[in-house]
Structure 1
Amino acid sequence: MTFNFLSPVSDEILAHNELLSPQALGKKLKIHSNKNGIPDLDNVKIAIIGVLENRNDVNYMGSDVQLDTIRKVFYDLFPGNWHTTMADLGDIRKGDSVEDTYFALRTTISILLEKKIIPVILGGSQDLTYPNYRAYDGILPMVNIVNVDSNFDLGDSALPIKNNSYLGKIILEQPYNLFNYSTVGYQTYFNSQEEIDLMEKLHFEAYRLGEVSKSINLVEPVMRDAHIVSVDLKSVKASELSSKQKYSPNGLDGKEICAIARYAGISNKVSSFGVYEYQHSKEDHITAMLVAQILWYFIEGVNCRVNEDPLNDDINYQKFNVLIDDDELIFYKSIKTGRWWIEIPFLSELNNKLKKHTLLPCMHEDYKEATQGKIPERWYKAYRKNSF
C-alpha cells in the first residue's frame, strides 16, 4: 500500500526546520520530503496530513488553503515528555473534483487506520469530516463522531454536501455506520429550532457553549466514547483569532479548545482527529499558533493514554449498583484514574446495534444524581439508540 496522493512538505519549511533547536518538535518528526520521499512508518503512532481542499465551503471564493504557517509554528514548539513516534506526511492537494480529494483522503486515512496510526488532519473545509468517516467502512461496524462546533452542520441532505451540511449525508448514506454524534460548544442562535429538535429526536448529544465553559470536564466522557473528533475553528471566539478567521464574539477561548483537544487525545477510542476551517492570514500568525497548540495538546493527551477495561478487570475497579424505579444502573469507577463508566444492557429481544453489554463513559456527577433518583441523560439516549 502506498500514499500516492500525498505531496511532500515544502522545501521552505524544511529549510526553516534545519535552523531549529535539536530539541524542537520539527527535529523529532519523520517528514515526507522531496529528497527522501515518504518516511518509514514503523513504530509511528501519529501522522499529520494537510488537506488543501475548501471548494465545498459555502463561502468559497476561489481562495487556496495554505498550511505552511501552521507547520512552521508547530515545528518550533518543544515536545512534552512524549514516547510516541510522529510523522508529517505532507499534503493532499485539490483533485480535479472535490470527490477526487475525498477519495484520496478516505484512502489515506484507511491505510493509516489499518496500520494503527492516528491521522491528524489539517483542513480545509469541515466537509472533509465526511471522507474521514467513510474511511472507517470495513474497519469499525459503528462509529461515534464528536464535532467541536458552534453549529450542528445538519443541513439539507437532499442538497449537495457543504461544510455546514455534511452530517445529513453521513446519517442517510449507506452503509449506515454512525452510532452517535455529539456537538460540543454549539451556540443556539446559529441553529434553527428544527435542527435542535432533530438532534433530540435522533438521540444525539449537544452541549451548549455555556455548559462547556462552565464545566469543561463534562467534555471528557464525551471524548472518551468518540472515534472521530472534528474541530471547527469557528467554535473559537473572535478575540482569540486573526482578523480573517473571526466568526463570532462568543465561543471557546484558547485554553478551553486546548483542554478539549487534550481530552480527545487521552481517549483510547479516538483514532482520528481533525482541525478545519483554517484561513491563512498574512497580517499575523495567531490562528496558526492556536492550531499548533491544539495539535500539541492532542498529542500530549495521546501520550497520557491509560488502557482501561472495567468489564474484564475486577481488581482495579469499584462497582456500584443503583436502583431507580424498575431500572438497575451499574456504575464502574477506575481505582487508577478515577474515571467513571455506566453499563448499557444488551437487549436480547432486539436486533440492536450493540451486541453485548457495553460501557458508556460518564462522570462522578452522573453517579451522584443516580443515587438521588435521576437517570443520566447520556445513559438514556444511548439506551434509546440501542433499542431501535
Structure 2
Amino acid sequence: MAQHNPSSPTIWTGRHSDTKEYWYQMVKCLPDQNIPNLKNSRTVVILGYVGDEGVKRNQGRIGSNKGPEAIRKVMGPMAYHLSETVKIFDLGNVFTQNHDMESSHEMIKDMLSKIIKNRAFPIVLGGGHDLAYPHGSALFQYVLEKGEKLGIINLDAHFDLRPFINGKGHSGSPFFQLAEKYHSEFHYLCLGIQRAGNPISLFETATKKGVNWIEMEDFYLENWEQIKNQLDSFCQNVNKIYLSIDLDGFSSAYAPGVSAPSPMGFSPEIAMKVLDFIARSGKLLSMDVVELNPDFDQDNSTARLAARCIEFIVRKMY
C-alpha cells in the first residue's frame, strides 16, 4: 500500500526577514490532497516521492527516499524572485510501504492528474527514477485527451530503457514502460548519455523506440549551437514537454550524493542552458528531479544543485 503524508511547515525554514524575501516564506503546506482552485493565478505544486524500492530492484545504492526532504531543506533559505501572483503549495509526500512500489505509483499518477487538471505546474521530488513512469503516465493521459503530443526531455547518464526485472518495473525501466504503453506517441530525447553506463542492447532499444539522444562526449557548453538545434527540432514537433532531471547525469564533482555517481557527467553550466531553453519554450507542462541520495552527499552540494535547478526553471517560467 501507498501512504500520503502532508509536509510539516517546520521543514521550510530560513533567515529571519520582516519582509517576504525567501522561499520558506512563500510556500504553503497543504493539510491534505486538496489543491485550492486558483484560476486567476499561476500556481506551483511541490510533491515528494519517498521511495527507493525501484533503485533497490535495479541494484543501485538505496537512500533516495530521503531526497525530497533534503531538497526542501535547502530550498527554504533560497532568495525568492518570483512574481507576487505566483502561488506555491507543498502537497507533501507519497510513501512506498512494504516494497509496494506499484501502489505508490498509482497514487502519484492520480495526484498529478488532479494537479495538472487544476492548471498548476507540478514539481516532483524523488525518489528513484521509477517515478517517471507514473509521472509520464499522468501527463500522457492529459495531453492525449487534448489531441496533443507530449515530448519527454531527460537529462541523464542513462536511457532508463531497461526491461522489467522479474516482471516488475524499477528505476532503470520507466521510459521503457512508457514506450511500451504509448508506442507511436512516445517522443523521447535524452541528454548526457554515457556509453560506459549503457550496454549495446540499450542503444538498440533506443533506436527501435525512435529515441533521440546526445552522448556525453557531445554534451558540453562549447557545443551549444548543435545541442540547441537538436532541442529546437524536438520541441517544434511536440505541444507539451515533460522535463526529468536525473542528478546522476551531473559529474560527481558537482553531484556526489546520487544513486549511481559518475566522474564523467555533465556540468551545471550546460544543464542550465538546456533548462533556460525549455523554460522559455512555453511548452513545459511538468518536471521532476530524481535520484538524490543524501547519505552520500557532501555539504548538501547535490541537494543544493537540485534546488537551484528547480528555482532556475520556475524563475525563468514566471
The TM tier, using the shorter chain, reads 0.7 to 0.9
Q: Specify the alignment match of 2:94 in structure 1.
A: 92
Q: 1:161, CA displacement in angstroms?
A: 1.1
Secondary structure of the structure 2 residue equivalent to 1:91: strand
Alignment equivalent of 2:36, drawn from 29, 33, 40? 40
Q: 1:276, CA displacement in angstroms?
A: 0.5
Alignment equivalent of 1:109, drawn from 80, 103, 112? 112
Q: Specify the alignment match of 1:160 in structure 2.
A: 168
Q: For 1:223 and 1:76, locate their aligned partners in 2 and report how far apart those are by CA, in whole Å.
A: 34
Q: Specify the alignment match of 1:287 in structure 2.
A: 302
Q: Specify the alignment match of 1:75 in structure 2.
A: 76
Secondary structure of the structure 1 residue equivalent to 2:178: helix
Q: Specify the alignment match of 2:243 in structure 1.
A: 229
Alpha-carbon spacing, 1:72–1:243, altered in 2? closer, same or farther (3 Å): closer
Q: For 2:279 and 2:35, locate their aligned partners in 1 and report how far apart those are by CA, in whole Å.
A: 23
Secondary structure of the structure 1 residue equivalent to 2:219: helix
Q: 1:212, CA displacement in angstroms?
A: 2.2
Q: Which moved more, 1:224-233 or 1:266-275?
A: 224-233
**More helix, by proportion:** 2
Q: For 1:31 and 1:289, locate their aligned partners in 2 and report how far apart those are by CA, in whole Å.
A: 21
**One-letter amino acid of the counterpart of residue 250, structure 1:** M
Q: 1:5, CA displacement in angstroms?
A: 5.9
Alpha-carbon spacing, 1:12–1:87, altered in 2? closer, same or farther (3 Å): closer
Alignment equivalent of 1:209, drawn from 209, 216, 222? 216
Secondary structure of the structure 2 residue equivalent to 1:185: strand
Alignment equivalent of 2:150, drawn from 143, 149, 154? 143
Secondary structure of the structure 2 residue equivalent to 1:287: helix
Secondary structure of the structure 2 residue equivalent to 1:292: helix
Q: For 2:140 and 2:289, locate their aligned partners in 1 and report how far apart those are by CA, in whole Å.
A: 22
Q: Specify the alignment match of 1:128 in structure 2.
A: 131
Superposition CA RMSD, Å: 2.7
Alpha-carbon spacing, 1:5–1:116, altered in 2? closer, same or farther (3 Å): farther
Q: For 1:64 and 1:73, locate their aligned partners in 2 and report how far apart those are by CA, in whole Å.
A: 16
Secondary structure of the structure 1 residue equivalent to 2:294: coil
Higher relative contact order (CA 8 A, sep 6+): 2
State whether structure 2 residue 66 is matched by structure 1 residue 59: no
Alpha-carbon spacing, 1:81–1:50, altered in 2? closer, same or farther (3 Å): closer
Secondary structure of the structure 2 residue equivalent to 1:248: coil
Alpha-carbon spacing, 1:188–1:32, altered in 2? closer, same or farther (3 Å): same
Q: For 1:112 and 1:130, locate their aligned partners in 2 and report how far apart those are by CA, in whole Å.
A: 17
Larger radius of gyration, structure 1 or 2?
Answer: 1
Q: Specify the alignment match of 2:255 in structure 1.
A: 241
Q: For 1:244 and 1:125, locate their aligned partners in 2 and report how far apart those are by CA, in whole Å.
A: 10
Q: For 1:163 and 1:245, locate their aligned partners in 2 and report how far apart those are by CA, in whole Å.
A: 10
Q: Normalised by the size of structure 2, how large is the TM-score? A: 0.82
**One-letter amino acid of the counterpart of residue 164, structure 1:** G
Secondary structure of the structure 2 residue equivalent to 1:93: strand
**One-letter amino acid of the counterpart of residue 270, structure 1:** L
8 Å CA contact 1:70, 1:288 repeated in 2: yes
Identity, % of aligned positions: 18
Q: Specify the alignment match of 2:268 in structure 1.
A: 254
8 Å CA contact 1:262, 1:300 repeated in 2: no
8 Å CA contact 1:146, 1:223 repeated in 2: no
Q: Specify the alignment match of 2:10 in structure 1.
A: 12
**One-letter amino acid of the counterpart of residue 185, structure 1:** G
Q: 1:233, CA displacement in angstroms?
A: 0.8
Q: 1:48, CA displacement in angstroms?
A: 1.0
Alpha-carbon spacing, 1:229–1:33, altered in 2? closer, same or farther (3 Å): same
Q: Which moved more, 1:272-281 or 1:221-230?
A: 221-230
8 Å CA contact 1:54, 1:60 repeated in 2: no
1:132-174 CA-to-partner distances (Å, cap 9, x unmatched) read 111135422242211111111111257421111222221223x
Structure 1: gaps spanning 5 or more residues:
304-388
Alignment equivalent of 2:26, drawn from 28, 31, 53? 28
8 Å CA contact 2:156, 2:246 repeated in 1: yes
Alpha-carbon spacing, 1:255–1:8, altered in 2? closer, same or farther (3 Å): same
Alpha-carbon spacing, 1:122–1:265, altered in 2? closer, same or farther (3 Å): same
**One-letter amino acid of the counterpart of residue 188, structure 1:** R
1:248-268 CA-to-partner distances (Å, cap 9, x unmatched) read 111111222233333332232
Q: 1:8, CA displacement in angstroms?
A: 1.9
Structure 2: gaps spanning 5 or more residues:
none
Alpha-carbon spacing, 1:283–1:240, altered in 2? closer, same or farther (3 Å): closer
Equivalence map 1:179-194=2 (5 Å)? 179-194=186-201
